Amino acid sequence: MDVTGMSDVLSAMRYSPRWRRHKKLFHQNFRQAAVHRFLPAQYAKIYEFLNNLITTPEDFMQHTTALSQRVIYSSLYGLDIGPEHPPPRKTAEAVGIAGPPLVPGTYPIFDRFPWLVCMPSWFPGCGFKVRAEECRNVLKETDTIPYDMTMTNMKTGQGTSLIVELAAKGEGVPEEIDAIKSMGTVSFLAAADTFMSISSFLLSMCLDPEVQRKGQEEIDRVVGTHSTPDKYGAFKSLPKILSDIQSSLHSEEGQCFLSTCSETPNHYTGPLPLIREVDTEFGI
């Protein structure tokens, strides 16, 4: 965690005064009583998402990715940007780089000799530190780029945002600015959960057309055919839809599986991944 910089992210941070400061800021702005301020931005991006689904349904994965990212940048930073812009690309890059090192066994030589973390990256067996440094740099850019963009927009009179308001309250105190940037970063990373939840819902509707038909009937009966549920505050009157959404949040996702033991009884071949990595590091 420390090597890759992920220990600076709230969800992976150690308990400390810094963690308490970051958690307090996150809770103040994302608790149930405070999230209503995000609804206008969410509805605007959801309408764009629905229009894109109708126009090019074959690109639903790209539309879902764009929705999860656009909602965060619009709600927190007041930025109308999508996957093609630098901040989302940096976030995706950070996830791609940081993901593998967090999986046990990715770097078996480091698991075997943890003291290698104290050695320079050129030392034999420390190739993993190069990737870790890349991850740390990308995470720093993920913190900084959108923050600088929204502060520039504020200075040029192009709009304000929650981040700008929090920065003004922080009065330039480094610890407060650090917490504000961290809140944005962990929100970006959590956008992956939004993407997976929407994807699971779409998959469930495709696999069970009868559930989709009943849900559509409930919407037509309660809301009508010329509006959307939010127009009439009808979500509480749509128990079937709410049930389907909650079910998609508990769906069992497919996961890759790697056996940690031999498939042949009483057979042992040794730590081949470790041997291969040592061979690679020493140029054998």
CATH code assigned at 96: 1.10.630.10
Cα(first)–Cα(last) distance of the chain, in Å?
29
pLDDT tens digit sequence for 63-107: 888 888 888 888 888 888 777 777 777 777 776 766 666 666 677
Does 273 score more than 50 pLDDT?
no
Which amino acid does the sequence have at 73? Answer: Y
Residue 79's pLDDT is: 85
pLDDT tens digit sequence for 9-21: 888 888 899 899 9
Mean pLDDT along residues 263-284: 47
Residue 280's pLDDT is: 44
Does 268 score more than 70 pLDDT?
no
Residue 103's pLDDT is: 66
* Any domain includes 92: yes
Please, which residues have CB within 8 angstroms of residue 128's CB and are 6 or more apart in sequence? 3, 101, 107, 109, 110
Helices (H), ranges, the chain: 17-30, 39-55, 60-72, 86-98, 108-112, 128-155, 162-170, 174-207, 209-222, 239-249, 272-281
* Any domain includes 171: yes
For the chain, give the mean pLDDT.
79
DSSP-derived letter for residue 125 is T
Residue 144's pLDDT is: 85
Residue 262 binned pLDDT confidence (cut-offs 50, 70, 90): low
As a whole number of angstroms, the distance between CA 94 and CA 88 comes to 10
pLDDT tens digit sequence for 125-170: 777 788 778 878 888 888 888 888 888 888 888 878 888 888 888 7
The answer to whether the CB of 179 falls within 8 A of the CB of 21 is yes
Residue 55's pLDDT is: 92
Burial of 75 (0-12, 13-18, 19+ CB in 10 A): buried
* Any domain includes 272: no
Residue 8's pLDDT is: 81
**Residues belonging to the chain:** 284
pLDDT tens digit sequence for 179-218: 998 888 888 878 778 888 888 888 888 888 998 899 899 9
**Domains held by the chain: number:** 1
* Any domain includes 82: yes
Residue 224 binned pLDDT confidence (cut-offs 50, 70, 90): confident
| HSE-CB for 71 with a 13 A CA cutoff | 25
* Any domain includes 275: no
* Any domain includes 267: no
Residue 260 binned pLDDT confidence (cut-offs 50, 70, 90): low
Phi (first) and psi of residue 134, to 5 degrees: -60, -45
pLDDT tens digit sequence for 25-53: 999 988 888 888 888 888 889 889 999 99
Instruction: Give the distance, in angstroms, between the CA of residue 257 and the centroid of all CA atoms in the same chain.
Output: 22
Which amino acid does the sequence have at 97? Answer: I
Residue 282's pLDDT is: 38
Provide the domain limits for residue 62.
6-222
Residue 100's pLDDT is: 67
Instruction: Give the distance, in angstroms, between the CA of residue 196 and the centroid of all CA atoms in the same chain.
Output: 10
Q: What torsion, rounded to 10 degrees, do the Cα atoms 136, 142, 148, 154 define?
A: -150
Residue 278's pLDDT is: 40
* Any domain includes 158: yes
Please, which residues have CB within 8 angstroms of residue 7's CB and are 6 or more apart in sequence? 1, 13, 14
Q: Which of 252, 253, 271 is nearest to 262 (CA)?
A: 271
245-249: long-range pairs with CB below 8 Å, 24+: 245/201, 247/204, 248/197, 248/200, 248/201, 248/204, 249/197, 249/200
Q: Which of 204, 199, 200, 226 is nearest to 215 (CA)?
A: 204
* Any domain includes 280: no
